[in-house]
A and B are shown apart, each in its own frame.
Chain A
C-alpha cells in the first residue's frame, strides 16, 4: 500500500514550534486536523488565511500552523480579528477560541461580533473547563460537575453556545465533535464559505483535568461519550423527545442570510465619499 503523507503535515510549523503543549489524547489536535483539511479542500491560498487566537489550550493552535497568525490576549481574539478583517477584508479570518477564552473573559466580544455579522469564522473548542490553568470551572462546565474551583460541584448553569450565537445574530451556527471528525471537516468548510459571522462549536474533552476530576475516564472513554450523546440534526427530527433526553445535536443548526458588515461598511463609504475627480480643486 502506498503511504501518502497526511496533508496536514504540510501546513505545520513542525520544525520550529513542536512539540506542542497539548496533552497526549487531547481533542484539539483532531480539531486542528479537520480545520487544515477543510482549508486544503477549499484550495485557499494559505497566505490568504489569517488565524487569530487569544489565550488557552485551544488558542495555542495558530502557533503551530503556517498561515498568517496572530496570538493575542485572553478573551480578545474576536476584537483583534475584527480589526484584521476590516483592515484587510480579503483575508479569510479564522478565530480559534475556547469556552473560557471565548465565553467568559471574551463573552462580551463574542455576542457583539455575532451581532455585527462580520465575515469571521469562529471555531470554539468546548472542553468544559480551563485546561491550561488546571481545571477550574468555566462557563460551559455543566451544573454540578467538578472543577478545581468547584470541588463539590458547580452550582452555575452552563452556556448553550450555539443558541447563544444564534440569538446574538450569527448567521451560521454548527456543532461538531472531535469524535465525528469527518462531519467536523465538512461543517468547518461550510463555515469558512459562509459570508457573515459563522460559529462552529467543537465538543472536545479534557481528560487531564475535567475527565480526572469528574471520573469520566480516558480520552478514548470521553470520545465514546461524544459518540453516544451526539445526534445528527437530521436524525433528531425523526426521533421522539424521550430519545433526545441528555443528548446534543450535531451538524448545521442555523444558516440564514443577512448583510455582511464589511460590505455594508463599504456601501456607506461608496455612498458618501466624494469621487477623486470631484475633490480636486472644486472646493
Chain B
C-alpha cells in the first residue's frame, strides 16, 4: 500500500515495524518529527516499546547503549549539534559492539548556527566505528532501517548503524511511500538475540579497562568487523529485494554508467538531482553517469574502483569538508584509485553547505569544470560579495 507521507513519518513507520524495545529521544530540528511520531505510536499502544525522553543527546545515546547492553533492540535519532554531543558515546557503542540504530537527519554544524542541510555532522564522526549508510529518497531511508538492524545485529558483525537522510530535503518532504507490512518485516528481521548481554543469570562485564597489552586487538577486530560488513550490506540488500521487491543498491548504486566518460560521485538526496542532469545530458548524446555511495563506512573502495576504472572524468560532489584539507569523499575516492592500473582524472567540489540549494544548472557547471581540467576543493556557487570580492 502506497501513501503520500512526510519523510519523518516514513522513517517512524519503518522503525515501528522493526519493533525496537527502547527508543530514546531529545528534540532537535529537523529530526523531531520522527520521535514525535514514535512517541505517539508508543502512547497509543501501536508499538510496544519503552520511549525515554532524556535531558540531552548525550543522555539519548547513553540510554540506547545501556539498553543494548541488556540485549534490547534500541533506536534513537538526532542531527548536527546533537550528533556531535553524542560523539563520546558513539565511540563507546561501537567499541562495545552494540548493534543499535540511529537516524541522522543531516544538518550543518555551528558556528554560525544553521539548521539546514549538509553532511558535515556525520562526516565528523566517520572514524567512530559505525556503519554509515546514506539514503537518496524517503523510500530508501525507510527501507534502510530494516536493513540497518539486520546488518548490525548479524553475529559476525555486531556493529551500530547510522542511517543518514538529508534534513528538511527528505525529512520534511512528502513522497509516496510503500508501507512495510509487519508480518513481512518480522520475517525479514527476526527478534534480536545476542550471544552476550547483561543478565543476573550470567553476570558479565562490558567496557572494562583494556591495558596496552590487548587494547589494540579490540580495535583490529573492530576494523575487521566493519570490513566484513561490506558483504553483509550487499547480501541484506539482496534479501530485502527478495522479500519486498525493492532494491536501491548495496554499497553503491550505479546509474547510467554504461560507456560513461564522466561520472559524478555523491551521497544523499542530491543524487536525485544529479541523475536528472545525467538523463538530460545523455539525451543530448553526452556520456554522463552517476555513482551513488550508499555505504560510506565501510568505504567500498573495490566497488568504487570497479565502477570508475573505465571513466575519463570523475567528479566528486559533497556537502562536507575536512577543513584545512579537502572534501572527505573526494580524498577517499582518490585514495581508492591510487596505484591502480587505470587512473581517471578526479575533481572535487564542495556544494550545498548550510542548506544552499544545488540546482541543476550548478551541477551542469560542475560537470563542465570537471571535464575541462582538474578542480580541487572548489566551493560551488560562492557569493563573491560575501567573501571580500566584488
Which residues on A are within 8 Å of B, measured CB to CB? 55, 71-75, 100, 104-105, 107, 130, 132-134, 136-137, 139, 148-152, 156
With most chain A CB atoms within 10 A of its CB, the pick from B25, B28, B44, B57 is B28
> What B residues does A150 contact at CB under 8 A?
39, 43, 53
B240 CB → nearest A CB, Å: 30
Q: Tell me the B36-58 residues at the A interface (CB within 8 Å).
A: 36, 39-40, 43-44, 51, 53, 55-57
Query: Does B326 reach chain A (CB closer than 8 Å)?
Result: no
Q: Tell me the B115-164 residues at the A interface (CB within 8 Å).
A: none
Q: In the complex, A75→B44 CA distance in Å?
A: 32
Task: From A107, A136, A152, give the contact of B27 (CB < 8 A).
Answer: A136
The residue of chain A having its C-beta at the shortest distance from the C-beta of B56 within the complex is: A105
Pairwise interchain contact A105-B55, C-beta atoms closer than 8 A:
yes
Pairwise interchain contact A105-B26, C-beta atoms closer than 8 A:
yes
Pairwise interchain contact B28-A133, C-beta atoms closer than 8 A:
yes
Q: In the complex, A130→B26 CA distance in Å?
A: 10
Pairwise interchain contact A133-B53, C-beta atoms closer than 8 A:
no
Pairwise interchain contact B36-A73, C-beta atoms closer than 8 A:
no
> What B residues does A100 contact at CB under 8 A?
27
- In this complex, how many residues of chain B approach chain A with their Cβ under 8 Å: the count is 23
Pairwise interchain contact A133-B113, C-beta atoms closer than 8 A:
no
Known: A55-B113, A105-B55, A133-B27. A151 touches B39 (CB 8 A): yes
Binary interface encoding of chain B residues 221-256 relative to chain A, with 1 for a CB under 8 A from any of its CBs, else 0: 000000000000000000000000000000000000
Q: In the complex, A104→B57 CA distance in Å?
A: 10
> What B residues does A105 contact at CB under 8 A?
26, 55-57, 85
Q: In the complex, A156→B51 CA distance in Å?
A: 13
> What A residues does B44 contact at CB under 8 A?
151
B31 CB → nearest A CB, Å: 9
Q: Tell me the B42-97 residues at the A interface (CB within 8 Å).
A: 43-44, 51, 53, 55-57, 81, 85
Pairwise interchain contact A136-B81, C-beta atoms closer than 8 A:
no
B143 CB → nearest A CB, Å: 26
> What B residues does A148 contact at CB under 8 A?
32, 36, 39
Looking at chain B's contact residues, the main secondary structure is mixed
Pairwise interchain contact B25-A149, C-beta atoms closer than 8 A:
yes
Query: Does B101 reach chain A (CB closer than 8 Å)?
Result: no
Pairwise interchain contact A134-B55, C-beta atoms closer than 8 A:
no
> What A residues does B111 contact at CB under 8 A?
71-72
Which residues on B are within 8 Å of A, measured CB to CB? 25-29, 32-33, 35-36, 39-40, 43-44, 51, 53, 55-57, 81, 85, 110-111, 113
B38 CB → nearest A CB, Å: 9
28 A-B contact pairs sorted by A residue (CB < 8 Å): A55-B81, A55-B113, A71-B111, A71-B113, A74-B28, A75-B56, A104-B55, A104-B56, A105-B55, A105-B56, A107-B55, A133-B27, A133-B28, A134-B32, A134-B33, A136-B25, A136-B32, A137-B53, A139-B55, A148-B36, A149-B25, A149-B27, A149-B36, A149-B53, A150-B43, A150-B53, A151-B39, A151-B43
B75 CB → nearest A CB, Å: 15
With most chain A CB atoms within 10 A of its CB, the pick from B25, B35, B53 is B53
> What A residues does B43 contact at CB under 8 A?
150-152
Pairwise interchain contact B81-A73, C-beta atoms closer than 8 A:
yes
Pairwise interchain contact B39-A149, C-beta atoms closer than 8 A:
yes
The residue of chain B having its C-beta at the shortest distance from the C-beta of A149 within the complex is: B39
Q: In the complex, A104→B110 CA distance in Å?
A: 20
By Cβ-Cβ distance, the 9 closest A-B pairs, closest first, are A133-B27, A105-B56, A104-B55, A136-B27, A149-B39, A148-B36, A151-B43, A133-B32, A130-B27
Q: In the complex, A222→B73 CA distance in Å?
A: 42
Pairwise interchain contact A74-B32, C-beta atoms closer than 8 A:
no
Q: In the complex, A107→B56 CA distance in Å?
A: 10
A130 CB → nearest B CB, Å: 5
With most chain A CB atoms within 10 A of its CB, the pick from B27, B33, B43 is B27
A157 CB → nearest B CB, Å: 13
> What B residues does A137 contact at CB under 8 A?
53
> What A residues does B29 contact at CB under 8 A?
132-133
